[in-house]
A and B are shown apart, each in its own frame.
Chain A
């Protein structure tokens, strides 16, 4: 009897630990070789044949087609520079400059990777659309209510993520955090 309980206990622990860590790894992105710059994270190897088993599992589970490294690189932010989760009811600013690339796009998704409905049907900005300051830097306001300048609506959802994709860029597997990759700052300005 004691043996039976003992085995059962061990198997339960195994299932909880095994499946729990797998779920966590796939939803939070546990692939190796992450490039973290400020609030932004990219997995350059995920867009190549060298994608590790964690990247492969995440790709299969979410059903997305990763951006191939020869095409570009996607950075994701789920929290601001201070680590506060991005909240669609707050006003968040994205400001600064970006690494060299022919084009970039900034898109707002819900945590499942779907676009978020809003009154003006704007889901993204491309590098060509935004209004810049005299020195070439920019500020994008991500907020539920309309705002002057570059406004990216959140639709008031609680959690969202931002994807910043660089196309035709030298940023890749060999890139280290540093001056060549100046990523824009993500700041939560005000919350209701």
Chain B
């Protein structure tokens, strides 16, 4: 009897280790996480608007149907990125996620304080490599440091009433994300 109780106890203890191990490994092995779901439809370094969620079809669970949204899947290995988002009529926000879908930064139209949200996205390494003089001209630019080389930028505009959805869509459709060196060439 004591022998079985000990075996049960040992099994439960081992179960605790299994539990912790699976929780920690899960994010690394998930194939249906948001980043993997979006990768096939979102080419790297460009803005793609997402279809509205419907009961039949939604690219991700728990999407807010009151928002028009777009995604920029970025890769900073070639250099920093530049993001420009025109502001919608009600509420516009830009959220940054790592390639493991962890939010590390968000900004909304009011905190941006202008008619468009403009910012530069780079890794900490690229930020430290930035020449000093450029840092000065960059004083009024917002710089966001990405903890990972790849990730997602979610651009979302609220339609306070269903009839305003086309306007919210237009706002997110006007968003641009581009590699900084390419953006300079096209100017």
Contact = CB atoms under 8 A, between A and B. Distances in A.
A72 B67 CA distance: 13
Contacts of A100: none
B103 A68 contact: yes
A109 B161 contact: no
B26 A61 contact: yes
Contact of B61 (A14, A68, A112): A112
Contacts of B1: none
A60 B100 contact: yes
Contacts of B107: 70
Interface in B66-93: 66, 90-91, 93
Interface stretch (B27-35, B125-133, B135-143, B173-181): B27-35
Contact of A9 (B7, B15, B65, B159): B7
Contact of A65 (B17, B34, B53, B105): B34
A63 interface: yes
Given A60-B33, A105-B64, A107-B64, A22 B55 contact: no
Interface in A97-113: 102-103, 105, 107, 109, 112-113
Contacts of A51: 102-103
Contact of B7 (A10, A17, A109, A115): A10
B22 A22 contact: yes
B160 A103 contact: yes
Interface residues of B, number: 63
B95 A71 contact: yes
Given A14-B12, A59-B27, A124-B64, A117 B55 contact: yes
A179 interface: no
Contact of A126 (B66, B106, B152): B66
A174 interface: no
A115 B91 contact: no
A15 B15 contact: yes
Contacts of A21: 15-16, 19
B2 interface: no
A19 B12 CA distance: 11
Interface of B: 3-4, 7-8, 10-19, 21-24, 26-27, 30, 32-34, 36-37, 53-56, 58, 60-66, 90-91, 93, 95-97, 100-108, 110-111, 147, 152, 154, 156, 158-161
Contacts of B104: 48-49, 68
A18 B101 contact: no
B60 A129 contact: no
A3 B62 CA distance: 49
A15 B18 contact: yes
Given A18-B17, A103-B90, A66 B22 contact: no
Contacts of B61: 62-64, 109, 112-114
Given A60-B30, A102-B110, 6 more contacts: A21-B19, A22-B22, A56-B100, A57-B24, A62-B62, A123-B65
A69 interface: yes
A103 B103 contact: no
A187 interface: no
A81 interface: no
A185 interface: no
A163 B93 contact: no
Nearest to B18: A18
